[in-house]
Amino acid sequence: MIVTRGLHKRFDQFVAVHALDLDIQRGEWFIFLGHNGAGKTTTIRMLLGLATPSAGSAHVLGHNVLRDGVEVRRRSGYLPERFQPYPYLSGREYLDFCGDMFGIARRDRRRRIDELLDLMEMSAFADELIRNYSFGMKKKTGFCAALLHRPEILFLDEPTADLDPKTSNLIRQVIRGLCDQGRTVFMTTHILGITEKVCDSIGIFDHGRLLKKQAWADFEREFPGLSMEEIFLHLTGDVKASKVVEFLDAERPGASR
């Protein structure tokens, strides 16, 4: 479903993604972990044909993303981290527009929109302008849009950010069910506890490099007794305790400035 070889992206002197080799199979829920600026979003954009690699190759659903980017996007669902739909449409109008763009017949489109709005508990707000939505409501609308055309693969960049625990749990259940049906999910998150419970494989990314990709059970065997957060910090570099101590000492009442 997703195959990259030596995928590389440079911005002037900054290397965002370094020689990435990655294989993700049909039905796999892959979670990409990395600090802010590690290159996760840049990788997603290259896989969707929205950013041009500096070197290497990427194939999604059997298509070369450079040559067949439109076909890749037609068969994919995408929820960006900073999802900003047009504010002067209602949620329903926005989803109707997305369905029209994907060529979904009007009757099927209306039924599908109603199903998704009900799933995400957005029916009561569907006809309000998006400009009045909270961040969480916008994110739920974006998740509906990503699922609307029944894509074969989902690219989800921080899909549970800004969401309450109930909705986050709902989205995890939906993703797990879709993968069990044979869909593929490529997801980023900073909520490391998710990775220990639900996904099929975990990739740890640091400064543009993939350090490891394996199942949680393999991480458990390699790092017995450690949580995913502890493993992540071990591999990517923990916060220096000396910096914290120095800061807190300076914050003490009466400390010299």
Domains of the chain: 1-75+186-257 (3.40.50.300)
Written as tens digits, the pLDDT of the chain (257 aa) is 899 999 999 998 898 999 999 999 999 999 999 888 888 999 999 999 999 999 999 999 999 999 999 999 999 999 998 888 999 999 999 999 999 999 999 999 999 999 999 999 999 999 999 999 999 999 999 999 999 999 999 999 999 888 999 999 999 999 999 999 999 999 998 888 778 778 999 999 998 999 999 999 999 999 999 999 889 988 987 666 677 878 888 888 876 65
Distance CA 147, CA 153 (A): 10
Distance CA 144, CA 159 (A): 11
> What Rg, from alpha-carbon coordinates, does the chain have?
20
DSSP codes joined into one string, the chain: -EEEEEEEEEETTEEEEEEEEEEE-TT-EEEEE--TTSSHHHHHHHHTTSS--SEEEEEETTEETTTSHHHHHHTEEEE-SS----TTSBHHHHHHHHHHHTT--HHHHHHHHHHHHHHTT-GGGTTSBGGG--HHHHHHHHHHHHHTT--SEEEEESTTTT--HHHHHHHHHHHHHHHHTT-EEEEE-S-GGGGGTT-SEEEEEETTEEEEEE-HHHHHHHSTT--HHHHHHHHH-PPPHHHHHHHHHHHSTT---
According to the model, what pLDDT value does residue 243 have? 77
Which residues fall within 8 angstroms of residue 252, CB to CB, at 6 or more apart? none
According to the model, what pLDDT value does residue 249 have? 84
Distance CA 185, CA 155 (A): 6
Q: How many CB atoms lie within 10 A of CB 93?
A: 17
According to the model, what pLDDT value does residue 101 have? 93
pTM of the model: 0.91
CA atoms within 13 A on the CB side of 204: 18
Q: What is the 3-state secondary structure (H, E, C) of 217-251?
A: HHHHHHCCCCCHHHHHHHHHCCCCHHHHHHHHHHH
Note whether 202 and 216 are within 8 A (CB): yes
Phi, psi at residue 157, to the nearest 5°?
-100, 105
According to the model, what pLDDT value does residue 213 have? 95
The dihedral through the CA atoms of 28, 34, 36, 40 has a sign that is negative
160 token code pair: 């549970």
